[in-house]
Each structure stands twice: as C-alpha cells, then as structure tokens.
Structure 1
Amino acid sequence: MPADVLAAYRPTGKGRVERQVLIVRDHVLSGRAFSSIEEMDAAFTAWVPRRRAQIHKTHREMIGHRAARDHAALKTLPPAPYLVAERHLRPVGKDCLIAFGGNLYSVPARKVRPRQLVEIRATKSQVMLHSTVPDSLGETLLAMHPRAVGRGVRVVEEKHWDGLPTGKGRRTTTGEVPVQPRHHRPLGEGSGPLQALLNRAAATQVEVGRRPLSVYDELTGTRPFTTHRTPKDSS
C-alpha cells in the first residue's frame, strides 16, 4: 500500500505521536532545571517505570504489558530499504510519450496503446512507468528512466518506438490530381426532395407580398415600440 508522507510541522496529523512529547514535557521537564544531559536522562529513566505501570485510557491495559506485546509482534526490517515515491496516473500519447513534471518519458509502443493509463512511480532520481494490469508473467514495469532536471526535456529510448506506424503504407499522390468531369443532369432529374423543390420553375416565380409591420401589430393586438418624452416645465 502506498504511504502518505505527512508534511513537516503538522502535529495535528500524528496526534498520538506528538502527545508523547507533551506527556514527557509535563511529567519530567516542567518546573525543573538540569545542569547536564546526564541529569536529564536520569530523571527520564526514573520516570519511565511509573509511566509503564499506569493504565492507558484508550485500550484500558497496563502500558508496560501492552508495549511488551507490541514489541514481540514486530517483524524484522526487509533487506531492501523502503522506497518513497510519488505515484500518479497519466495517459499515453500517440507517440508513446507520457507527460510528467513538465517533461516527456517514453514507454514501449508494443506494450501500450494510445490514451492508456500508466502508473508513474517517481523518486528524486528515477521515473518508473508501470502498467495497471500485470502481463502474463505478472510483471507491470514498462520502462525506467532517470528523472529529468528542469522542464521541457524528452527522455526517450529509441527502441521504445519500434512498432509505431512509419507512414510508408499511406497512399500518396504526386503532381496534380485530375479533376473528374461533372455530369449535368436535365432540369427535374435531380435526386432528393430538396433538389426537386429547387427545380420547380413555378416556385421560383412566386411573388412575395410586402406589407408594413403595423399590420402584424393590429393582428396580434400589440402596440409598436415608441419612446415617450415628458415635456419640460416652462418655468
């Protein structure tokens, strides 16, 4: 599971951890003065047994007993250090490039398709591109690149473009394209209702009547728009 790294100086995000600092300050350091680090350590060592003998208010168990059981359940650290990385989803472009951080990184053309979502796992020095679905061998890693410095950089492996269309199979023309002659049809032989309407000679000879807009105002009962002016006082 990916871990969410807590921002610095955010004590409210890890309250159970920060609470221990307040407990030590209030029970060991508050109201006391120490002349050396050794004297402070001795005061803390003398306080720890009293603290472990108390009943915790959350799980209602003795703190020392709960701590011993928790320590016994801890597993050994893995041989490889934990990898802290940013994780994002980005679509693949038609040129098999993925945009991240203002830069472009290539993925194998034979393993992806355009607009496919690819997971980015980025550290300070590397950018690892993973498929969201494992292949037949259970692998998800598509490519690994050094992280680019700055913006506008293209980090590309030429072999990743194997399988992209080269344009050699496209149909091309040279010179002028011959213009096909247009076949004129007699009037009235056009296809479709629109052409038949346009070909009617009688329809083109219809005269359109013209009448003032006041006729429509009388028919609809509306009054024309007028601007009324208020006469100014003579005084």
Structure 2
Amino acid sequence: MAFVVVLSWSRRIFLRFYLNQRMDNFLRGHVAAFTQWNALPRILLYDNLKSAVLERQGDTIRFHPTLLELSAHYRFEPRPCAPYRGNEKGRVERAIRYIRDNFFAGRQWTDLDVLNAEAKLWCETTASERRCPEDPDMSVAEAFEQERPALIGLPDNPFPTHERVEARIGKTPYVRFDLNDYSVPHTAVRRGATVTATLKTVAVLQDGLEIARHQRTFGKGEQIENPEHVAALIERKRQARHHRGQDRLAKAAPSSVAFLSKAIERGHRLGSTITELENLLDQYHASELEAALAEVLDHDAAHPQSVQQVLERRRETRNEPPPLAMPLTRHEQLRQLSMRPASLAGYAHFTDTSADKEEQNDDNS
C-alpha cells in the first residue's frame, strides 16, 4: 500500500509504503508524515475509504472512531471528499500520477525498507525541487517554508500506532500473532498474554511485564524462537526426566537415594548415572538391584559399573544365563499396565491325544 499526503498549497508530498491497508498502517502513515514535516495541516481531506469513513448518508458522515482519536490527538479536522467530485481530490490524484511517472518508472528495489528510504530521498530532493503550481517562481521546498507557519505544531507525544491484541498461550511455549508463532519462556504457558507489535518488533507481556521480544516477521506459519527460551525448556525437561528416574529408582531400590548422593559428591553426572541404573533395573529384578546397591555402598563405592559387577557376580553364583536387554518404554503409565493371561484350559484336548488314540484302536479291532 502506498500512503500519500499532499499539502494543498505548497504541494509538498509525503510518500510511504506498507505491506497492507490495515488500520494500524493507516495510522502509522499519518504519524510518519507529521513527524517528517514536524507539523500538520489544520484540515485533512479524505477520499471515502473505509479507514476514514464507515458510513455516509447524504451529508451525514460516520467517521472511523480510531481516526477521530487520531484527529483529537493532533487537533486537526477530518473532512471527506464529496461523492463524484473529482476536483476535490485532484491535487492528490495528480501527485499520484507524478509519483508513478517520476518515482516508479525504471526503479528497482530489494525490500520495503530500501523502497521507503528511496521514497523519502525522492520527496526531499526531486519532488521538492519541482516548481510550485500555485507560484511557479518558487520551488515546492520554498513554498513549504512559507506554508509552515500556517500549520499546526506537534503534541509532546506521538499517537500510539503499535498493534495490541490479547492472546492465550497454550501447552507449548509459543504465542500466535499475525499467523506466526513466537516463543515465550516455558513458565508462561497456559496463561493469557498481551501482544504488542510495531513494524520491527513483537513483544509479549504478562501482568504488565515484558516476558519476550522478537524481531517481527511478515511471513506465514513461521516459528520464531529465542535461543534462551529453547535452552531453558530443554533444561527443564532434562530435570523433569531426572526426577522421574530418581522417583522410579527410589521406589524399586531405596538404596539408590544414598548411592546417587555419593555419586554426585564424587563428580559423576547425575543424568547418565540415573540412566545406567534404570537400564540395570530393566535387566535385573528390583530386589537384585537393591542388594547390589547395598553391597556397593558398604564398600564405599558409587559408580554404576561397580553395581553391574556385583549383579553379574550374583547371577553367575546362581548359574543363571545373562539377562536379555528388553527395551521398555520410559512412559510410567505404560510401565504400570498389567494384562491378565488368558486361560489355556480349553486347548488341553488338542495336546492330550493318548486317550483318543486308544479309543480309535479299540474301534478298529
């Protein structure tokens, strides 16, 4: 979308491009024009676009309420063009034709920022150096300097043009805004949030405090992540996995609590130690693991290999075969499932054939 403002007497042009025609960009164009000129006209004449005029019946006009807020903030009067009165907006239409012929013709650009930078330079040089239609003896820039005293000064604070929407963060640490997902800390899930956005950034707030800030993207279906959010989530999952493993070992082999404490004191990694003990628990019975842990602790050792050596020695003493590794799920609910074995009594007559053979021999004789 091209946002164009033309001053009525000097013909000074403001030109800015946006990706769409939404209300937030309509407001941004006003604020950018007023800021660049450091002033604004007392009356702004609008074509009958929906961003300005919601409804019109005869001379009765219903302006967009957000436009009225903007006009009240900057103290200008909005006026709509009369229908079918081309002369009322002729200055703007001639300026658009001038932009098309003198700015766009043969021009190439790589992105929107480059295009807007070139548009600003063109407005301040080529467009301002042309002759003023009201007084051909002056340039547009000279006419603008004479017109400036009749313009309104800017208020102390600009009108807020950032987008603001209420959102809900679900089970995953992402908040959706403008068809894209932005990461948030994992502690913010399952709660409401407020998303504020400019053309450059997207900020997420909870309870009035900013919890995340990202560079804005205008794609679709993209996932924008802060590496710190991802790292914190991975660490949280790792800790939760360790806690689940510790709880399981403590229930199956209570001596594992003291064993893990000693292992940490001696600098062993907690995660890998828990994983090795869980593997031993899967291969051997819980009572065997408890006995091996108790023996290792009596010898003041705290390494999974020591536990495995004790388990192997106890197995060989009983002349039992090596345990087969059975990969089991780590999901606790699936581990607790039990199935009642089906009765095989009904299949006995398929295997017990001796009585049938005797009866068959008697019949043949």
- Give the structure-2-normalised TM-score: 0.28
**Greater strand content:** 2
**Greater helix content:** 2
- Give the structure-1-normalised TM-score: 0.41
